[in-house]
Amino acid sequence: MLREVTAERYVTPLTAGGSVPGVVEADDLGTYVVKFTGAAQGRKALVAEIVVGELARALGLRFPELVLVHFDPAVAGHEPHQEVQDLLRASAGLNLGMDYLPGAADFTPQTAETFAVDPLEAGRVVWLDALTVNVDRTTHSSNLMVWPTLGVAPPRLWLIDHGAALVFHHRWDTSRPEKAYDFRRHALGVYGPDTRAADAELAPRVTEELLREVTARVPDAWLADEPGFATPDEAREAYVGYLLARVRASAAWLPTDFPGRAQLASEDAHRAARTRQGRPDWLKRVPDLHGRPAAEQDWSVHLEGNP
């Protein structure tokens, strides 16, 4: 099971992400980034964090330690922002903490131009993301950290933030284990990920026993209200069964085609140029729900990413 600690000091919120996690100091003298049960993403995001994070660690990928954090909102009484206070008050009790990596830097497209990643290491990360259907490790949102960065040791890639993975648990009745996902814009795609070698290495290690160990670390309370399941253990069995079926179907979903930097840059430039051309003729007939004249409407947000 995951270690349990108690938050003794709330340091600061992290507002870059939608879930607004917070940095806290705990009674074990550790510092953690805490994701709260009261966040809009709900407890499913925390379930995904545990299942994918612990699976990553079991497969030898670098991922910070997870702990269960007992949190009393009173320790954050000094927090001045009302919305953050509302979140913290809604999160009294057990929450999820990830070991804080001091001085770690975000892995960005600019980092990728100078930071070397072995194709097999990139392949392992892509393979894990494909297995767990993680749609949030892209060139624009890598959820990767480079640490350490102070020259004490060679910097390494660390995985973080898997709350958007396991998308199948949002609609159990329609998800197919063999379904393929588009990983063309994976954050590590430009390194030529050797996903075939990663599949040969990692797939045999994702056993029913390992998946049972990983899902056992999810607190019962976070699975108790899962629709369609009578008990937390029944929900755990669904996760085990789905992921086991998916790893056995890896030939159907294994991503192997990744564009290079030049192709991605060309696609981005084409998309930007198409957006700048303005509103298509067919949209000129769409009424403005906010009462603004058609000429004053900004449709770029709606057109971005659409074919």
Is the pLDDT at 17 greater than 80, yes or no? Answer: no
* 224 within some domain: yes
> Would you call the peptide bond into 148 cis, given omega within 30 degrees of 0 as the criterion?
yes
* 261 within some domain: no
Clarify whether residues 95 and 117 are in a common domain.
no
pLDDT category at 113 given cuts 50, 70, 90 is confident
3-state secondary structure of 214: helix
The partner residues of 24 in beta bridges, in order of sequence, read 10, 32
Clarify whether residues 149 and 240 are in a common domain.
yes
Clarify whether residues 233 and 115 are in a common domain.
yes
pLDDT category at 298 given cuts 50, 70, 90 is very low
Clarify whether residues 187 and 210 are in a common domain.
yes
Over the chain, what is the mean pLDDT? 88
Q: Count the neighbouring beta carbons within 10 Å of the beta carbon of residue 36.
A: 24
Clarify whether residues 145 and 71 are in a common domain.
no
pLDDT at res. 278: 61
Clarify whether residues 205 and 126 are in a common domain.
yes
Report CA torsion sign: 244, 250, 253, 254.
positive
Report CA torsion sign: 271, 272, 278, 283.
positive
Clarify whether residues 27 and 119 are in a common domain.
no
Counting the structural domains of the chain, the total is 2
The parent domain of residue 127 ranges over: 105-253
* 290 within some domain: no
Clarify whether residues 39 and 68 are in a common domain.
yes
Is the pLDDT at 143 greater than 60, yes or no? Answer: yes
Q: Could you give the residue ranges of the DSSP H alpha helices within 186-260? A: 195-202, 208-215, 232-248, 250-253
* 72 within some domain: yes
Clarify whether residues 169 and 232 are in a common domain.
yes
Return d(Cα 98, Cα 23) in angstroms, integer. 9
* 75 within some domain: yes
Clarify whether residues 72 and 45 are in a common domain.
yes
pLDDT at res. 291: 43
